[in-house]
A and B are shown apart, each in its own frame.
Chain A
């Protein structure tokens, strides 16, 4: 019997998800032994036309990481969807928009102006910015379109499963691969990580008082971090309560607060909004002035609450719908 075919693809991403696959270490040999990798641009040389020539549905599973920023990424996602039985959104960017989605706080024009015109290191006397079509010496050159908005994968194609994390841990990847190989999969649409908040497995949860009241919001650069005490109890915003478990609390174990890369639990519709609601309940201060003073300590609300989830946020949805790209 032929081995199941597997594709890895990357869209708007940093490459960390690819590293995570490599981090499977010797387990990757088991994967390679069990499957045929037919696409993995970061590691192996395959041609897109080869994929296009494949029969629809002939790829068992495609792991797609990265957000959708360009027409090319969207096209590849659609192609892989057509050719695959299963599509797994791999990592935070693909699941929720991730770091690239923070660009949704600004516009395409501003990004281009900064990157190609105004950045101090740019020398561009002719003011050339990328265009989908350019004629150079009578030849037509094309570039994929750079969208106004950063999308998560399921905004452009149907997604079967989600592997959260920036990047997903090798354990979760191995579990997901095994589940697929053994056909022991949860219902479609599932996020392949425990549906609990990180506090559940955090060793510091016991040190959290029943009355967590934050009188002053601090950043990790402000204080010497207690390596055992709950970050919220230290006044540090830890996204753990609003973040899905499954990462093994690796940041916490490195004495850094959770930044939320695993996204929300199933019952939560908007991770950032949820955490803001939670903080609203535990920030100290009766009068508006006192509360304002506490909030002043929050220097980067978008980066704190939506570091990975802006494409999945309800805040962005109106704009997304306004422009059909």
Chain B
């Protein structure tokens, strides 16, 4: 049997004068001819131009080479260009090999003789590699146009509604027992002092009644596989022990003997072991807190069962594991208030009537623990309220950055206090003030006009909040001691709990401040670092309600403009494969795969790559101790051949 020598075509591109001024291309061509390794050798100019590509195609059709070397620029620039032309004339893309003699040679090598020798070495390396090329088959699949939204706050709700309007099926996942997020806990949204529950209520009903939107509350993501256009999301829907027939009538609340701190009121009020977050929540059904319910603890109580007029209590409900196929994911997990309890000098958690800003919002809320009345612990109205800006912020041991919206919230305290107690004095202690934009700045000026005093502190770290009889005193550098009945700490905003874990599950990056990193800080703020995963609301960084909602609309807009039903996407072609015959089943590749594309076949005792999920990163190939894992188009043989060509010709 005689093996025919592979036919290799070599194109040497002058790249205007970028290459030809530094490398003697005719000499390199003569050398290439003399090696008798090539069926075609030619120096041409601007091969990437329309004329150049046409010529390239003509030569390929004429010579029908087994391999093509384009000695030109970086493969990052034009490898795809030439691969596409090759495909057009029926030659597999894997047969095109770039030899980068521009960035790697002509631009960095002054000595012309050395440049020539380097160019020859690069061509030899390309030659050794290209003769080992194997055809790669393109696989396409239709995109899944359904959308998953993580987080049922105002951003997630907005995203769900507009995606549904575009005809998409939407899954809205919320970790809490009902939708609403942070905004539902606010009384009025500045600067227009719009009623927050009123903003949300119609949207909640819309989501509830929309057949395109599946709401999964009390649920969390346990795993995410796949890629843009084809994600498989695993969700754990925790048991409520109360069936959907429950309308939230609250008849069971009175009979439940267990009283617990109410998280919705940030611990300021109480709830029962069977509870809803607030009247009119979506879903309406209550939830039994299994950890504290006496039925689950010692089977000593079933008071709610007899109290329920709808027979909705079901102690036998089980957690459900769901698998959802979607094409894109929107993260709208929001933010949480910074922890100020660690700063002893601020008195939080130690001195009565010292609250955080979100707690104050709850106190002032009509659906709050004290029924919208701003009162001190002793039931009296405060005659003076002090607000401390940047509490726990702008310091390395707290939140090191400016959250950008807390000053606005802090200035709202005066407005809310004066509404109920017109004679009360309100005093804001600040170091920096951030009121950006005409509307917000006007709101701040209005507060000054209406009586809020703003006092500058030169160093917020010097602030000491102390108890003095019934009063609270505040001292700090730059002002004389202040006395107040109530202190509100304007806390900064941190990423929601679970942000890091979610980022790990989704394999996307976080910024240094812990919020999700945008694809591009200026041009694409709502795309994450991975295609098909979007960030909306405060998950992309602290922001106000308007920005939150705008981000949601931006994210969904991008999705519905790209993820069009019926559109095909090309699957990753350069995947890795594990040779069944060679795999020893050592499992070491499984843990290193960032895409969770490798599963263990218990019957065959080997690891298997799910090619539809594999992105071809090659990590498993590097980690495979027996050489059973291979990266297509980047096999060990190809790489060693290339290195060999470079070193030994």
A interface residues (Cβ-Cβ under 8 A, vs B): 195-200, 205, 208-213, 232, 240-242, 245, 264-269, 274-275, 277-278, 280-282
A205 touches B627 (CB 8 A): no
The interface residues of chain A lying within 8 Å CB-to-CB of B581 are 195
Starting from the known contacts A196-B584, A269-B627, A282-B623, 4 additional A-B residue pairs (CB-CB under 8 Å) come to A197-B584, A205-B586, A241-B586, A267-B630
- Give A314's nearest chain B residue, CB to CB: B640
Given contacts A200-B605, A242-B626, A268-B627, contact A281 B592 (CB under 8 A): yes
Q: B583: CB under 8 A from chain A?
A: yes
Contact A241 B591 (CB under 8 A): no
Given A200-B584, A213-B591, also A281-B627 (CB < 8 A): no
Known interface pairs A268-B625, A268-B626. Does A282 touch B587 (Cβ–Cβ under 8 Å)? Answer: no
Q: Once the chains are docked, how many angstroms separate the CA of A199 from the CA of B586?
A: 5
- Say yes or no: A266-B591 contact (C-beta < 8 A), given A199-B584, A280-B622, A281-B619: no
Q: Which of B581, B605, B624: most chain A CB closer than 10 A?
A: B624
Sampled A-B contacts (15; CB under 8 Å): A195-B582, A197-B626, A200-B583, A205-B587, A208-B587, A213-B591, A242-B625, A264-B626, A264-B627, A265-B628, A266-B582, A267-B579, A267-B628, A274-B624, A274-B627
Chain B interface size, under 10 / 10 to 19 / 20 to 34 / 35 or more: 20 to 34
Q: Which of B573-614 contact A (CB under 8 A)?
A: 579, 581-588, 590-592, 600, 605
Select one of A232, A241, A277 contacting B584, CB under 8 A.
A241
- Whole-angstrom distance from the CB of A201 to the nearest CB of chain B? 9
Cβ 8 A contact of B591, one of A210, A265, A268, A269: A210
Assess the A282–B584 pair: CB atoms within 8 A: no
Contact of B625 with A274 in the complex, beta carbons under 8 Å:
yes
Known: A269-B636, A269-B640. A196 touches B582 (CB 8 A): yes
List chain A residues, Cβ under 8 A from B585. 197, 199-200, 205
Min C-beta distance of B621 to chain A, whole Å: 9
A241 to B625, Cβ gap below 8 A?
Answer: yes
* Residues of A with C-beta under 8 A to B625: 197, 241-242, 268, 274-275, 277-278
Question: What residues of chain B have their CB less than 8 Å away from a CB belonging to chain A?
Answer: 579, 581-588, 590-592, 600, 605, 619, 622-628, 630, 636, 640
Bound-state Cα–Cα, A232 to B591, Å:
13
Judging by beta carbons under 8 Å apart, are A212 and B626 in contact? Answer: no
Complex formed: what's the CA distance from A195 to B582 in Å? 6
**B591 near A267: Cβ-Cβ < 8 Å:** no
Give chain A nearest CB distance to B304 CB in angstroms: 42
* A277/B626 in contact, CB under 8 A: no
Instruction: Report whether A197 and B619 are in contact in the complex, using a CB–CB cutoff of 8 Å.
Output: no
B136 to chain A, nearest CB (A): 20
- In angstroms, Cα B620 to Cα A241, docked, is 13
Residues in B with CB closer than 8 Å to A269 are: 627, 636, 640
User: How far is the CB of B302 from the nearest CB of chain A, in Å?
Assistant: 42
Q: Give which listed residue, B582, B587, B619, B630, contacts A212 with CB less than 8 A.
A: B587
How many angstroms from the CA of A268 to the CA of B583 in the assembled complex? 12
Q: Are B588 and A281 in contact (CB-based, < 8 A)? A: yes
Residue in A199, A210, A211, A265 whose CB lies within 8 Å of B627: A265
Give the complex CA separation of A34 and B449 in angstroms.
Answer: 112
Interface centre among B581, B590, B626, B627 (most CB of A within 10 A): B626
* Chain B interface, >50% SS class: loop
Q: Which of B579, B628, B640 has the most CB of A within 10 A?
A: B628
A242-B625, A282-B623 known; A265 vs B588 contact (CB < 8 Å)? no
Residue of B nearest to A198 (CB): B584
- Which residues on A sit within 8 Å (CB–CB) of B624? 274, 278
Task: Return the 6 tightest CB-CB contacts between A and B, nearest first.
Answer: A197-B584, A267-B627, A242-B625, A281-B623, A199-B586, A241-B625
B628 touches A282 (CB 8 A): no
Q: Please, how many angstroms separate the alpha-carbon atoms of A205 and B627 in the complex?
A: 18
Partner pick for A245 among B584, B590, B627, CB 8 A cutoff = B584
Query: What's the Cα separation between A196 and B588 when bound, in Å?
Result: 14
- CA A242 to CA B626, docked complex, whole Å: 5
Q: Which residues of A contact B627 (CB under 8 A)?
A: 264-269, 274
Are A278's CB and B584's CB within 8 A?
Answer: no
Q: For the complex, give the distance between the alpha carbons of A23 and B383 in Å.
A: 98
Contacts of B586 in A (CB 8 A): 197, 199-200, 205, 208, 240-241
**Complex-state Cα separation, A199 to B583, whole angstroms:** 9
Q: What separation, in Å, do the CA atoms of A240 and B625 have in the docked complex?
A: 9
> Nearest-CB distance from A315 to chain B (Å)?
14
* Measured CA separation A205–B583 after assembly (Å): 13
Q: Tell me the complex Cα distance, A196–B627, Å.
A: 10
The answer on a CB contact under 8 Å between B623 and A277 is yes
CB–CB A277/B583 < 8 A: no
Q: Chain B residues with Cβ under 8 A from A211's Cβ?
A: 590-591
Shortest C-beta distance, A265 to chain B (Å), equals: 4
The chain A residue sitting closest to B622, CB to CB, is: A277
Residue of B nearest to A201 (CB): B584
A residues within 8 A CB of B605?
200, 205
Q: Is the CB of A282 within 8 A of B626?
A: no
Alpha-carbon gap, A242 to B630, bound state (A): 15
- A199 to chain B: which residues have CB within 8 Å? 584-587
A196-B583 Cα distance, complex, nearest whole Å: 6
A208, A267, A275 interface centre (most CB from chain B within 10 Å): A267
A190 to chain B, nearest CB (A): 14
**Shortest CB distance A263–B (Å):** 11
Q: Are A267 and B622 in contact (CB under 8 A)?
A: no
Contact flag A282-B579 (CB < 8 Å), given A241-B626, A267-B626: no
Contacts A241-B584, A267-B628, A269-B636 given: A212-B622 contact, CB under 8 Å? no
Q: Which single residue of chain A is at the shortest CB-CB distance from B626?
A: A197
Q: B623 touching A280 by the CB < 8 A rule?
A: yes
| A212 near B579: Cβ-Cβ < 8 Å | no
User: Which residues of the partner chain A approach B623 to less than 8 Å between Cβ atoms?
Assistant: 277-278, 280-282
Q: Cβ of B587 and Cβ of A210 under 8 Å apart?
A: yes
Distance of A269 Cα from B626 Cα, bound (Å): 10
The distance in angstroms between the C-alpha atoms of A280 and B592, with both chains bound, is: 10
| Complex-state Cα separation, A282 to B593, whole angstroms | 11
Give the docked Cα–Cα distance between A271 and B636 (Å). Answer: 14
Nearest A residue (CB) for B624: A278
Residues of B within 8 A of A209 (CB): 587
The CA of A117 and the CA of B584, in the complex, are separated in Å by 48
Residue with the greatest number of chain B CB neighbours at <10 A, chosen from A197, A266, A274: A197
- Closest beta carbon of chain B to A113's beta carbon, Å: 34
Closest to A210 in B: B590
Knowing A197-B626, A265-B627, A278-B625, say if A241 contacts B582 (CB, 8 Å).
no
A197 to chain B, nearest CB (A): 3
Are A267 and B582 in contact, CB atoms less than 8 angstroms apart? yes
**Complex: A267 Cα to B623 Cα, angstroms:** 13
The answer to whether A196 and B622 touch across the interface, beta carbons within 8 angstroms, is no
Give A186 Cβ to nearest chain B Cβ, in Å: 14
Chain B residues in 8 Å Cβ range of A200 = 583-586, 605
Residues of B within 8 A of A241 (CB): 584, 586, 588, 625-626
The smallest beta-carbon distance between A87 and chain B, in angstroms, is 26
* A221 shortest CB reach to chain B, Å: 24
The interface residues of chain B lying within 8 Å CB-to-CB of A266 are 582, 627
What is the distance, in angstroms, from A23's C-beta to the closest C-beta of chain B?
Answer: 26
A131 vs B581: C-alpha distance when bound (angstroms): 51
CB distance from A90 to the nearest CB of B (A): 23
- Given the complex, which residues of A lie within 8 Å of B600, measured CB to CB? 210
A245 to B622, CA, bound (A): 20
Q: Is the CB–CB distance between A212 and B640 below 8 Å?
A: no
A contact residues around B584 at 8 Å (CB): 196-200, 241, 245, 265
CB-defined contacts of B640 to chain A, threshold 8 Å: 269
CA distance A240 to B619 in the complex (A): 20
Q: For A278, list chain B residues within 8 Å (CB).
A: 588, 623-625
B68 to chain A, nearest CB (A): 28
Contacts of A264 in B (CB 8 A): 626-627
Q: Which residue of B lies closest to A244 (CB)?
A: B626
Chain B residues, CB < 8 A from A274: 624-627
Distance between A43 CB and nearest chain B CB, rounded to angstroms: 36
Question: What is the CA–CA distance of A269 and B639 in the complex, to the nearest angstrom?
Answer: 12
